[in-house]
């Protein structure tokens, strides 16, 4: 490390040396030498260090100040607006094959390529060495991490999103096992955005627990502790008997002051954040959950302490808590929205007049502006984001920082589905839920990932993009997880996107709160249900009462029938699609085919007795 000593800024060298962990020092030295930055800043997570990083992000013009105090805006490059699935790969040793649904390559080949691309990539730049903890500090859930990044914007984002971990590294000393991340935005253009997008790479070395991310700034590719760390955590969980999931955690207020905590898995732009932020309920997290077993029950923590949320569609009526926080003083980063001359921001779906002009991810913007392909450029990108600490939300539950986690009563799976799943349904049991709800999850694609939009995609547990084990092993992890549990969480599916034949949505955005109130009742044995071939659905009387109690709204039998009709042809088509997929996966557990076939036979029998589309009143 002494050969780099002269590059350390202020007391940074001493801060690093104070940590008694030779493995950490070896990692930092190797990649600082390879990437060759001009200056090195080590953050101890103090208020002074956090302020230094934020000011550097403004000084380097990666961020700009906005009208509201402490708010800033960041722009990614025009073609760097989403997770790059194609170039995000696992580096696997010889003889290991994760199959066609998981993107991977041979480790030695990948390391040779990435190390060549990283040589001197930070030359002329400052680099930030930052320490964090995934999960509450001092918890059995917590995982220490270190990130080396040459983007002050990335470091600033992580300081908002994650708990500081420098003191945890000091406490754990040489025995600390930790995740490692190296990020470089690469060469920058005149707008301070990544220039060499063709050389964008995100490679994950599972055995050495290192993530490499270069020539990109978009948070999903560059903020190492988000989905990149989720991949490392899934691999770690597979060896230790817990679950690392792409899930929200929400607390539902029930009878007598009780709170029922529920996790939920949704692909991007499918209502995940809005579910976590339901008015009148309690927020724990909106994105990543770690689930452990303790005393025969399931407990979960939010791996993060902030939110990197999709901003499109957020408005004062449907999302009052988020909307209020986004207009309050505090450390908030907006990315890829429109900023006006008076330093105010506008995004698609904001309940405010659309400005005539401004600056966005395309540069100077005006109404009707088109890109080089002739496509009209909207004022904000569909995947535009906001980065904010959860303590700015008035509905935050104190359980966020509980090192024990919160007890989980239910697990929910949902995606974009216009014609098959009903708005809410409970699985017949744990295995049925894991296979027909979680492992059978499909969703129409959105702007959150690169590629075509509106295509129905298989995405088991909404975690397919992040799996660091084979699909068959992942399903088996779920089945094994339940074996010694005395109190199994109930498994549910939800569908906020069911449409009629004319393409109109069959429920309102806020109706989801009713589905979760019903789940709370089911978890505590306080509501009956109708058994169908695909699971348990609510009785009309219970939903009618809940709509009246929660929204003071009449809920008609007509609405109920349209929403909860059993659509047998669509279900049978889905089973055929899912079965075909799993037949192509060599290590699919046999139980998957058994459960899918049983559901198929129940549907066929019901079709023979009652027809193809069956009213819930006839079930």
Query: What's the mean per-residue pLDDT of the chain?
Result: 95
Whether 109 and 227 share a structural domain: yes
| Rg value, the chain, Cα | 24
Percent of the chain with pLDDT over 70: 98
Comparing 338-347, 368-377, 434-443, the range with the smallest average pLDDT is 368-377
Active site (catalytic) residues: 270
* The pLDDT of residue 454: 64
When pLDDT is averaged across residues 307-335 and rounded to a whole number, the result is: 94
For residue 268, pLDDT over 90 is answered with: no
Whether 517 and 541 share a structural domain: yes
Whether 172 and 287 share a structural domain: no
For residue 447, pLDDT over 70 is answered with: no
Whether 264 and 155 share a structural domain: no
* The pLDDT of residue 210: 97
Whether 212 and 274 share a structural domain: no
Whether 235 and 92 share a structural domain: yes
Whether 226 and 267 share a structural domain: no
Question: Is residue 379 one of the residues assigned to a domain?
Answer: no
Percent of the chain with pLDDT over 90: 89
Whether 257 and 113 share a structural domain: no
Question: Is residue 350 one of the residues assigned to a domain?
Answer: no
Whether 473 and 521 share a structural domain: yes
* The pLDDT of residue 476: 98
| CATH number for 525 | 3.90.228.20
Number of domains observed in the structure of the chain: 2
Q: What do you get for the CA distance between the two ends of the chain, in Å? A: 71
Question: Is residue 100 one of the residues assigned to a domain?
Answer: yes
- Using CA atoms, how far apart are residues 148 and 168, in angstroms rounded to an integer? 17
When pLDDT is averaged across residues 40-55 and rounded to a whole number, the result is: 98
pLDDT bracket for residue 453 (50, 70, 90): low
Summarised one tens digit per residue, pLDDT across range 481-539 is: 999 999 999 999 999 999 998 989 999 989 999 999 999 999 999 999 999 999 999 99
Question: End of a domain among 240, 258, 291?
Answer: 240
The β-bridge partners of 581 are none
Question: End of a domain among 193, 225, 240?
Answer: 240
For residue 399, pLDDT over 90 is answered with: yes
Whether 262 and 189 share a structural domain: no
For residue 448, pLDDT over 60 is answered with: no
| CATH number for 43 | 3.40.449.10
Q: Distance from CA of residue 86 to its chain's centroid? A: 18
Please work out, in degrees rounded to the nearest 5, the angle formed at the alpha carbon of residue 441 by the alpha carbons of 437 and 443. Answer: 140
In this structure, what is the dihedral angle of CA atoms 49, 53, 59, 65, given to the nearest 10 degrees? -110
Count how many Cα atoms sit within 13 Å of the Cα of residue 208 in the half-sphere of its side chain. Answer: 20
- Using CA atoms, how far apart are residues 326 and 256, in angstroms rounded to an integer? 33
Whether 481 and 546 share a structural domain: yes
Question: Is residue 367 one of the residues assigned to a domain?
Answer: no
* The pLDDT of residue 318: 84
- 224 contacts: CB under 8 Å, gap ≥ 6: 145, 147, 149, 158, 179, 181, 183, 211, 213
* The pLDDT of residue 1: 77
For residue 206, pLDDT over 80 is answered with: yes
Whether 425 and 516 share a structural domain: yes
pLDDT bracket for residue 185 (50, 70, 90): very high
Question: Is residue 346 one of the residues assigned to a domain?
Answer: no
For residue 451, pLDDT over 80 is answered with: no
Specify whether the CB–CB gap between 466 and 246 falls below 8 A: yes
Global pTM reads 0.94
* The pLDDT of residue 153: 96
Question: Is residue 443 one of the residues assigned to a domain?
Answer: yes
Question: End of a domain among 207, 223, 240?
Answer: 240
Question: Is residue 542 one of the residues assigned to a domain?
Answer: yes
- 95 contacts: CB under 8 Å, gap ≥ 6: none
When pLDDT is averaged across residues 437-455 and rounded to a whole number, the result is: 75
* The pLDDT of residue 479: 97
* The pLDDT of residue 446: 59
Question: Is residue 105 one of the residues assigned to a domain?
Answer: yes
Range of the domain at 253: 244-308+397-618
């Amino acid at each position: 490390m002494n050969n780099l000593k002269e590059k350390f800024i202020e007391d940074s060298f001493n801060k690093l040396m104070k940590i008694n962990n030779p493995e950490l020092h070896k990692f930092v030295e190797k990649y600082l030498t390879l990437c060759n930055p001009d200056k090195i800043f080590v953050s101890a997570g103090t208020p002074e260090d956090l302020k230094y990083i934020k000011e550097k992000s403004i000084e380097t013009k990666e961020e700009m100040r906005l009208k509201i105090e402490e708010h800033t805006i960041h722009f990614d490059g025009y073609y760097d607006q989403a997770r790059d699935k194609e170039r995000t790969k696992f580096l696997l040793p010889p003889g290991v094959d994760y199959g066609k649904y998981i993107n991977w390559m041979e480790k030695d080949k990948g390391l040779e390529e990435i190390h060549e691309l990283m040589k001197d990539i930070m030359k002329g730049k400052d680099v930030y060495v930052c320490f964090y903890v995934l999960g509450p500090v001092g918890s059995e859930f917590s995982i220490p991490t270190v990130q080396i990044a040459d983007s002050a914007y990335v470091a600033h984002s992580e300081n908002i999103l994650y708990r500081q971990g420098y003191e945890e590294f000091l406490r754990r000393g040489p025995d600390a096992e930790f995740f490692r991340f190296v990020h470089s935005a690469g060469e920058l253009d005149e707008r301070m955005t990544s220039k060499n997008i063709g050389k964008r790479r995100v490679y994950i070395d599972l055995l050495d627990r290192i993530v490499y991310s270069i020539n990109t700034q978009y948070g999903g590719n560059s903020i190492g502790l988000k989905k990149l760390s989720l991949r490392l955590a899934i691999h770690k969980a597979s060896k230790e008997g817990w679950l690392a999931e792409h899930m929200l955690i929400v607390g539902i207020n029930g009878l007598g002051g009780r709170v029922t905590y529920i996790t939920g898995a949704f692909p991007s732009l499918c209502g995940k954040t809005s579910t976590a932020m339901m008015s009148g309920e309690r927020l724990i997290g909106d994105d990543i959950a770690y689930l452990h077993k303790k005393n025969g029950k399931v407990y979960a923590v939010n791996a993060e302490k902030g939110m990197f949320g999709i901003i499109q569609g957020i408005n004062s009526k449907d999302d009052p808590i988020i909307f209020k926080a986004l207009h309050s003083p505090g450390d908030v980063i907006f990315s890829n929205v429109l900023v006006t001359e008076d330093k105010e921001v506008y995004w698609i779906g904001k309940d405010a007049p659309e400005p005539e002009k401004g600056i966005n991810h395309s540069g100077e913007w005006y109404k009707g502006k088109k890109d080089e392909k002739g496509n009209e450029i909207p004022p904000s990108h569909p995947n535009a984001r906001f980065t904010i600490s959860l303590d700015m939300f008035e509905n935050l539950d104190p359980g966020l920082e509980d090192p024990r986690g919160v007890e989980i009563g239910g697990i929910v799976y949902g995606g974009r589905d216009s014609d098959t799943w009903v708005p809410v349904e409970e699985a017949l049991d744990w295995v049925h839920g894991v296979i027909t709800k979680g492992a059978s999850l499909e969703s129409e694609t959105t702007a959150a990932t690169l590629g075509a939009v509106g295509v129905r995609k298989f995405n088991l547990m909404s975690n397919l993009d992040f799996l660091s084990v084979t699909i068959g092993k992942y399903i088996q992890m779920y089945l094994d997880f339940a074996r010694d549990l005395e109190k199994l969480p109930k498994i549910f599916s939800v569908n906020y996107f069911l449409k009629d034949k004319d393409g109109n949505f069959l429920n309102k955005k806020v109706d989801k709160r009713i589905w979760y109130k019903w789940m709370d009742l089911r978890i505590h044995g306080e509501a009956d249900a109708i058994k169908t071939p695909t699971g348990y659905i609510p009785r009309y009387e219970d939903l009618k009462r809940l709509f009246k109690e929660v929204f003071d709204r009449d809920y008609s039998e007509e609405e109920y029938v349209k929403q909860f009709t059993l659509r047998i042809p669509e279900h049978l088509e889905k089973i055929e699609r899912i079965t075909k997929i799993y037949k192509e996966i060599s290590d699919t557990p046999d139980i998957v085919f058994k459960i899918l076939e049983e559901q198929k036979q129940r549907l066929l029998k019901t079709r023979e007795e009652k027809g193809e589309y069956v009213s819930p009143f006839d079930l």
